[in-house]
Amino acid sequence: MLKRYLLAPGPTPVPPEVLLRMAMPIIHHRAPDFIPIFESAKNRLKWLYQTNNDALILTSSGTGAMTASVNNFFNQGEHVAVVNGGKFGERWTKICQAYGLQVTEVTVPWGQAVNPADVAGALEKDPSIKAVFMQAVETSTGVYHDVEAVGAVLKDKKDVLFIVDAISALVAHDLKTDAWGVDLMIGGSQKGLMLPPGLAFLSVSAKAWEKAEGSKMPHFYFNLKKERDGLKKNQTNFTPAVSLIVGLDAALGMLEEEGLGAVFARHARLANAMRHAVSAMGLEIYPIQSPSNSVTAIKAPEGVDGQEIYKTLREKYGITAAGGQDKLKGKVFRVAHLGYAGTFDVITAVSAVEMTLKGLGHPIKLGSGVGAAEEILIEKRTS
């Protein structure tokens, strides 16, 4: 028997408490029983988002909410800027272009974080730009982009929306939606929120709703105005994933009990331990700057195929991590510490990486990374 461990950057493990809540008998989405569950979930979601704005709950993947962020607020031919530093930055460009927007890319070398001055430069060069799209965490590279700093650039731009894909960043990073001026913030259920795939979340500012009034783009399923109307009645426009929303309320309740500051501190601690372990093993993390607290992208050592590392972790040791994407395929592998993650998830991952590399013929001292991680993770007595 091979015991399985899910340490990918999505889907992530689901806590037993959440699974049990989702196993309750199905209820009708228009019945009175559903209303208090939905209301609790939507209010807790606003707590996580640190926002007073509407926080919509959509039955879709995160890409559905990304799409809704384009076709509900703009018109064909309008100019927008996209921060592109990886595969998911590329996705923003593709979605915008699919709906006829004119895209200026703020291109960021893979492994680096965006320079806010470059965003400011793009806006200065083209004053007709109506929005800036970016990732909080670029999952393909393991980089965290400074949402606060970019928000500061846009603070006085009354006609420019700030749209952030936080699908891999929510829960792992302290994202202050309102304080940082984020007009649309996107999340997904299968990452830090500790749920199966199937829900997307979207906070919408008053400024964005005003912009939506002028949008003539076609949309049917992702009609956010109708979703906003339903939200007021604790309903959704169409049949939602009822069991996932039940699970959402349970998962948010667990995070609420832990406390927002403690949640962010836990993720920072796990990520720090992983980085120290990588260094102690004689490896390098891929991001040149600003590594995320969600997922660590690790360079494959010279002479070892990163895909072979990823494959061996899965097939021999039962650990599902992630390989490199596109130009990083074979060059990196990625290990997540996101959502329902704790001390021994990191220890397990690091020890498996050590054994994998040793088995693939790479010279490594077994226990070097584990020991380094333990030094960060050990609960030292304070008295």
Each domain of the chain, given as residue ranges in start order, spans 5-10+259-377, 16-257
What lies within 8 Å, CB to CB, of 53 at 6+ separation is 46, 177, 178, 203, 204, 205, 206
Q: In whole angstroms, what is the distance from residue 1 CA to residue 318 CA?
A: 10
Q: Burial of 77 by CB count in 10 Å (0-12 exposed, 13-18 middle, 19+ buried)?
A: exposed
- The sign of the torsion formed by the CA atoms of 96, 87, 348, 309 equals positive
Which tens digit of pLDDT belongs to each residue from 252-295?
Answer: 999 999 999 999 999 999 999 999 999 999 999 999 999 999 99
| Pairing between β-strand 129-135 and β-strand 161-165 as defined by DSSP bridges | parallel
At residue 187, the pLDDT reads 98
Q: How far is 2 from 212, CA to CA, in rounded Å?
A: 51
Q: Answer whether the bond into residue 11 is a cis peptide, omega within 30°.
A: yes
* Beta strand spans in 214-367 (E): 295-299, 319-320, 322-323, 332-336
Between CA 324 and CA 153 the distance in angstroms is 32
**pLDDT category of residue 379 using cuts at 50, 70 and 90:** confident
Class for domain 16-257, per CATH? alpha beta
Residue 290: CB partners within 8 Å, gap ≥ 6? Answer: 112, 113, 143, 144, 145, 146
CATH code for the domain defined by 5-10+259-377? 3.90.1150.10
Tokens encoding 25:
């008998």
* pLDDT single digits (tens) 81-134: 999 999 999 999 999 999 999 999 999 999 999 999 999 999 999 999 999 999
User: What whole-number distance in Å separates Cα of residue 303 and Cα of residue 289?
Assistant: 25
- Per the prediction, the chain carries an average pLDDT of 97
Q: Which amino acid is at 282?
A: G
Compute CA distances 27 → 44, 223, 243, 301, whole Å.
21, 24, 8, 52
42: its two tokens: 């939507």
CA 315-271-350 angle, 5° bins:
35
Residue type, 39: E
3-state SS string for 115-156 = CHHHHHHHHHHCCCEEEEEEECEECCCCEECCHHHHHHHHCC
For the chain, give the percent of residues with pLDDT over 70. 99
The string over 344-382, giving b where at least 16 C-beta atoms fall within 10 Å of a residue's C-beta and e elsewhere, is: ebbbbbbbbbbbbbeebebebeeebbbebbbebbeeeee
pLDDT reported for residue 381: 52
What is the pLDDT at residue 259?
A: 98
Q: Note the pLDDT tens digit of each residue in 30-48.
A: 999 999 999 999 999 999 9
Q: Quick check: helix, strand or coil at residue 213?
A: coil
Decide whether 5-10+259-377 matches 16-257 in CATH topology.
Answer: no
pLDDT at position 383 is 46
In contact, 337 and 274? CB cutoff 8 Å: yes
Residue 318 pLDDT more than 90?
Answer: yes
Distances from the Cα of 157 to the Cαs of 149, 160, 365, in angstroms?
A: 14, 5, 54
Q: Considering only CA atoms, which of 210, 184, 187 is closest in space to residue 58?
A: 187
Arithmetic mean of pLDDT, 191-216? 98
Note the pLDDT tens digit of each residue in 151-183.
Answer: 999 999 999 999 999 999 999 999 999 999 999
Over 70: is that where the pLDDT of 382 sits?
no
SS3 (DSSP) at 202: strand
Residue 231 confidence class, pLDDT cut points 50, 70, 90:
very high
